[in-house]
Structure formats: C-alpha cells, structure tokens
A and B are shown apart, each in its own frame.
Chain A
Amino acid sequence: MTGIWAIVIPAFVKILVIIAVVMTGVAYTTLAERKVSAWMQDRKGPNRAGPFGLLQPVADGIKFFFKEDITPKEAYRPIYLLAPLLTLFPALITFAVIPFGTSVTVAGQTYPLAIAPGMNLGIVYLLAISSMSVYGILLAGWSSGSKYSLMGALRGASQVISYELGIGLAVLSIVLWTGTFDFNAIVADQTGGWGKVWFFIPHFLAFVVFTVSIFAETNRLPFDLPEGESEIVGGYHTEYSGLRFAMFFMGEYANMITASAFVVLLFFGGWNLPFVRYEWFGPLWGGLLSMVVFFSKIAVCLFIFIWVRWTLPRFRYDQLMTLGWRRLFPLAVLNFVLVATWLLLRGRP
C-alpha cells in the first residue's frame, strides 16, 4: 500500500461509506417525511412493512424498480433519458467536499473524515455544483413535451437562479468573516475557544437569508412551485415513472441532506458540541463520535425541513419572486456590508 494506492483505497472506502450513508439517509428521510406528516395530521403513517414501517423504503424501492418505465410520445428522448441522471449526479457529488467529522486513526494511519480532505475551496465547489443542479429540472421539464412539465421547469429554473444569489451572499459574509473557503476552518472557527460561538448567533441575518433560500433551492414547501401538485400536476417530473422518477425523488432528498449539511457546517458548528472535546475519547472513538454528532445535527435539520413542509402553505409565484429579490437579496447585501464594515472598523473579535 504505497504511492497512489494509499490515497485511492481510503478515498474509495470513504466514497462507499458516504454513498451508503446518504442513500440510507435518503430512504429513511422519505419514511420520516411520511411518518412525521402523519403524526402532525393525527394519523399513524406507514406501519405495514416491518416494525413501525421501517422496511417501507425497501418496499418503495422494489416498487419503483418494477414499475413500467414510460416515455411519452412527445418527449425528446435522449434528453428525457438524461435528465434524471443530471438531477441525481450533482446531488451526490457534492458530498465529496463535505467533511463529516474530525478524523479517525486506524492502524496508526490518520484518515480525515472527508472524501476530498485537502480541498480548501469546499464552499466554492458546493456552490458550483449546486448551480448546475438546475439542468436536471430544466431539461426534464422541457424534454417531457408536456405543458405542465415545461411550466414546472421554467418556474424551477428561475426560482433556483434567483435564490442562489441569496445563498451566495449569505455564504460570502461568512467567508468574509472567517477569511477562508475551507469548511474545516469555518467549523474550527465556531467552537473551541473563548468567544467562539456557533455562527447562527452573530450572523443571524445571514442565517435567516440562507435558510429561507435553501428551502427554495431544494424545491421544498413553502417554495415547491416547480412541482406544485395542485397547479401543475407534478411539475417537471410529471411524465416520469418508475426508476427515473425515483432518481428525481432521491435527488431531491439528497439535495435536502446536502443543504442540511451546509447549514450545519456554516451555522451550527459542524460536528462540534459545546464544552465537548473529541480528544477526550481517543483518536478512533472521538472521530466516530464526531461523525455521529454531525449526522444527528443533519437529522435535526431534516426534521425541520419536514416540519416546515407540513405546516406552511405554498407561496404564490409573484410572492416568491418578491421575497427573493426584494426582501432577501437586499437583506443579504445589507448583512454583507455590515460584516465588511465591522471587519474594517473592529477587526476580528
């Protein structure tokens, strides 16, 4: 195990672990979505497959697998077949730069818990990839050859583009504050010292803008206009069925997980807990514990996603655009200017 293999094998193992974890996470987020929504509506939710319905995602997967795969007559076939992949692929490769813990030491070798540990441009990478996730929506909606799909796609594209600005500016103010694009440094800046708090307190404005924008970016209620069932059937994935529909579905939930990880890393201290140091637990267990803490925080964020979805009604389209361009965007600019001014006058506290 020398040379390139010393890099490739751990990376491969980490990719496998992350894909497995994320895919399981996606599956169980769908279950959680159904369970939590049921509880909020005084129902019981799926409980047939396995104890408490825990095997429901498996059943769903099997069902998706055996459903008929329909291509509409009016569809533009090559793009119609490509679009689901373009949705799922960016959703998955964003995990390359997300650090999900400190590091573990196995057999004297220390492995940082991230697929691409040396990446000091993690945030730019994440923004770049998420800016490309529009393609899946746009192409799926257009190539289906259905007016509902086209409407959904156009809505989705303009919404995602509009809200990316808010996200970018909110993130940039954090970047300006910490002076780095590196997730690890940003996480390290939030804990482990006097006066270092999770960023959602000092950067509350950025936090609000970011959170609202991330709901729009992931097409979740109250901003799920691209797939508003009561208006345009299913939006851009109206015509899809079977495994291709499942890809959209998984892509959406994987995006939610990425967004949650993003929020946790930027505003909630990543894998750190207040007053806890992972060095106390040793190099192996400390690392694993940090991973567990990180995923728990993501789970809480996912719960909030679901909670909001089953509480708030959908925005009207002009309201969505007004909120994005006339409320959040100026707010983000204001926040950016405030952070810059503070840094200019007072420097880092």
Chain B
Amino acid sequence: MKVTRPKLSWWERTYFPAILKGLAITLSHIPKIKKRVTLEYPEVRWALPPQYRGAPILLTGLDGNEKCTSCKLCEFICPPRAIRIVAEETSLEKEKRPKEFDIDMGLCIFCGYCQEVCPVEAIWLKDEYEMADYDRTNLIFNKEQLLARGRKPPYLPGREKPLEEPK
C-alpha cells in the first residue's frame, strides 16, 4: 500500500500546532464535571444485564429437591475442571441426585458451558461477582452453598416462578 504523507507547512513541521491542539483538548476536559464516568463502586453499582455470567448457582425444583440429576455433563464439559460431582441414588422419580456438588471458584472461568449443557436447567450463572476471600478453600462452593445462592430472588427475567420456595 502506498502511504501518502500530508504536505506540512514549515510551521506545522515544528510540531507546535499539533501540540497546542492536543493540549487544548485535554484541558477542555477538565471542567466537564457532568460528564465524569467514574462509578463509585461500593456505593453505586453497575446495573447488570440479564445475561450476565457471574457465580454459578444450583436450582431447587418445585418439589423442594435440587433439580440436578447428577448426569455429570457439566463436570465433563467444564474446561478448567472446576466442578466435582459425587452421585447417589434417590427414591425420587429422577433416580439420581448429587451427593456432593463442588465448584472451585478459584478455577471457574465463567464460560457458562455448564449452564449451556445442563439438560434439566439446574445450573445457572447468575449476577454475583463479589467472591473475594482470604482463603482459597473458602472458594470451593459445596452443594448447600450453591443451592442457597439459587434461592435468592429475583431470578431470571420471565422465569422467576420456578424459583419460589416449594409449597
């Protein structure tokens, strides 16, 4: 490709006009108090879009039991292998349920494959993003924690209902 250099006059080649122009632009931004975009985080929060992928949660079905059938598809697809499921038999109709369901949030990359692959829509990535801790072991969420997070309304736009506590 042929680059055509602009013909600069002597005055322009001293850099001064461009420098002054740049300086004027930056200076003109200082008094624009109204346009400041800083979000003062702990007090003011970002309105999360509905499809935001935060920490995973497990859903509770209408019958009061976890929806997960322990098919282990999420465990299988999880790229960083953050999910660990131990299955057990159950007398319920679904026949299998997770005895243990751990997600290591130190590993999770929030890709959402688990949500994508789940046949019973039991695992969802939700709007929680404050998971910092001083201890890595606290970042391994077990089944109870995941289920407890799942009970937090509001849930999904248009899908709030199934989340409610069982009657």
Interface size class of B (residues with CB under 8 A): 10 to 19
Are B40 and A44 in touch, CB under 8 angstroms?
yes
How long is the Cα–Cα vector from A36 to B27 in the complex, in angstroms? 9
B12 to chain A, nearest CB (A): 15
Are B23 and A42 in touch, CB under 8 angstroms?
no
Binding-face segment, A1-9, A253-261, A307-315: A307-315
B36 at interface (Cβ–Cβ under 8 A)? yes
B4 at interface (Cβ–Cβ under 8 A)? no
B19 at interface (Cβ–Cβ under 8 A)? yes
Q: Considering residues A41, A42, A310, which has the most beta carbons from chain B within 10 angstroms of its beta carbon?
A: A42
Are B29 and A42 in touch, CB under 8 angstroms?
yes
Question: How many chain A residues touch B (Cβ–Cβ < 8 Å)?
Answer: 15
Are B25 and A39 in touch, CB under 8 angstroms?
no
Partner of A42, one of B27, B35, B40: B35
Partner of B26, one of A43, A44, A45, A310: A310
How long is the Cα–Cα vector from A40 to B57 in the complex, in angstroms? 41
Known: A36-B30, A39-B30, A312-B19. A44 touches B38 (CB 8 A): yes
- Measured CB to CB, the nearest residue on chain B to A47 is B40
B46 to chain A, nearest CB (A): 15
Q: B1-37: contact bitstring with A at CB < 8 Å (1 yes, 0 no)?
A: 0000000000000000001001101110110100111
A84 to chain B, nearest CB (A): 32
Q: A4-16: contact bitstring with B at CB < 8 Å (1 yes, 0 no)?
A: 0000000000000
Are A39 and B38 in touch, CB under 8 angstroms?
no
How long is the Cα–Cα vector from A21 to B32 in the complex, in angstroms? 31
Interface positions of A (Cβ within 8 A of B)? 36, 38-45, 47, 307-308, 310-312
Interface positions of B (Cβ within 8 A of A)? 19, 22-23, 25-27, 29-30, 32, 35-38, 40
29 examples of A-B residue contacts, CB within 8 angstroms: A38-B38, A39-B29, A39-B30, A39-B36, A40-B26, A40-B27, A40-B30, A41-B29, A42-B29, A42-B32, A42-B35, A42-B37, A43-B36, A43-B38, A44-B36, A44-B38, A44-B40, A45-B38, A47-B40, A307-B23, A307-B26, A308-B23, A311-B19, A311-B22, A311-B23, A311-B25, A311-B26, A312-B19, A312-B22
